[in-house]
Chain A
Amino acid sequence: MAIDKNMNVLIVDDYKTMLRIIRNLLKQLEFDNVEEATDGAEALAKLRAGNFGLVISDWNMEPMTGLDLLKEVRADSRLKSLPFIMITAESKTENVVAAKQAGVSNYIVKPFNAETLKEKIEKVLVHA
């Protein structure tokens, strides 16, 4: 199944540098329609107002964390099926389990490489 690379992608991270890195890596993968948010609350507002095909979110942000954003997304009737990838330095088993139970589509641990990002995006979008 072909992936629609014109879809809107929302990337969420409180480190501006990380947003820039992910945006550039997505551009290399030919995803050009990328929007940014710096915490879960801002992301949720953008998701509710817009039309996105993928969310890539950090975990550790104030005031709303990535896990809490994921739960809000899964509880929203319009957004509940939205592919959601967590990219985070939180690598404990309990974090991965909590994210999976909340409905995460895939989980990438920082520091990550471009190949991992590409592989996970393809995996979640093909199964979306």
Chain B
Amino acid sequence: MPDQNPEQIERAVREVLGSLSGDLTTTEISLLGELEALGREVARAKSEIAALRVDDINDRHIPTATDELDAVVEHTATATNEILDVCEGLEKLQTKLPAEHADALGVAVTRIYEACSFQDITGQRITKVVSALKVIEQRVSDVTRRFGTTTENAPAPEPEVAITPETEGRALANGPQLPTAASSQADIDRLLASFD
């Protein structure tokens, strides 16, 4: 019974215990023991969750983590644009240099451009982490609500709505793979060639 409210379980246990009277059979005594154990387990789970101060996770830790990640994206973008500014300046100098040096500078600038694409990849990876944090935030909210460790009169959360991607492009948009799982350009070239 995954959606059963712990408060309801506790109440049900108390009611069953209160209804038992007179001589008890062996089965009833066994059932009584099981119910008492269940009641203790529910109470222990509640106090352990309360002790974890899970509200802090949603109120403080997750917002801080997402803010920090946003700042990482912003700062790397700023730094990357500074690097690109300098590269564009260097390219303008190329025409004033002897051909040999101009070529060497051109090769170096190209390598810097290639390396700067890290900002796009890290940005996409961080976006995936922020999405994961939001899922954790939602799950923590669900747990705290079910075990009654948040404000008593807090409104029930909105029911989770399954988000169905509306297009194939959106459904297949997963962001970068981890390096160990990603296909190389050579793998992709081979795959494309197999269509010819």
Contacts and interface: CB of A to CB of B under 8 A. Distances in A.
Interface of A: 13, 15-18, 20-21, 24-25, 28, 40, 59-60, 64-69, 71, 89-98, 100, 106-114, 116
Contacts of B84: 17, 20-21, 24
Contacts of A94: 172
A17 B121 contact: no
Contacts of A69: 169
Q: What is the predominant secondary structure among interface residues of chain A facing chain B?
A: helix
Contacts of B110: 25, 28, 114
A15 B195 CA distance: 31
B183 A17 contact: no
A28 B113 CA distance: 11
A65 B185 contact: no
A26 B84 CA distance: 14
A109 B175 CA distance: 11
10 contacts: A13-B120, A17-B84, A18-B117, A28-B110, A65-B167, A90-B174, A100-B192, A109-B182, A110-B120, A112-B185
A109 B184 contact: yes
Contacts of A116: 185
Given A17-B120, A96-B191, 5 more contacts: A17-B77, A17-B81, A21-B117, A60-B173, A110-B176
Nearest to A105: B192
A103 B167 CA distance: 16
Q: What is the predominant secondary structure among interface residues of chain B facing chain A?
A: helix
Range for the number of chain B residues in contact with chain A: 35 or more
A16 B117 CA distance: 11
Interface of B: 77, 80-81, 84, 87-88, 91, 106, 110, 113-114, 116-121, 123-124, 167-170, 172-177, 182-185, 187-188, 191-192, 195
A15 B113 contact: no
> Which 7 pairs between the two chains have the least Cβ-Cβ distance?
A65-B169, A67-B169, A89-B176, A68-B169, A91-B183, A60-B173, A18-B120
